[in-house]
Amino acid sequence: MDYSMILYTPLCEHDVFPQDTNASQIVYEKYNNRHVKCFDHGNGKKQIIQVVSTDPKDYLDPSLQPGQWLDY
C-alpha cells in the first residue's frame, strides 16, 4: 500500500523540509509589529524572504514584500 499525506501548513516547504545550506543565515524578525523570515547578510543588513502571518493585509504591504531590506 502507498500511504500519501497532504500537509496543510502556513510554513513554506523549506521550513518543513529544511536544507542545511545557509541555515545559520536565516533569522526571524519582528518588523512593524509583523513577523518576517529574513536572510541575514551581516553588518545588520537583513532582507525579507517571507512574511509569516495569518492576516491577508500583511501580504499586501509593500514594505513587507520578499526582497525588501529591513530598515531599523
Mean pLDDT of the region 54-64: 92
Number of domains present in the structure of the chain: 1
Q: Quick one: which of 59, 62, 3, 64 has its CA closest to 38?
A: 64
What pLDDT was estimated at residue 22?
A: 55
pLDDT tens, position by position, 20-50: 665 568 899 999 899 999 999 888 889 999 9
Percent of the chain surpassing pLDDT 70: 85
Residue 3 within a domain: no
Q: Which is more confident, 9 or 21?
A: 9
3-state SS string over 29-60?
EEECCEEEEEEEEECCEEEEEEEECCCHHHHH
List the domain range (segments joined by +) for residue 28. 21-64
Question: What pLDDT is recorded for position 30?
Answer: 93
| In a domain? residue 44 | yes
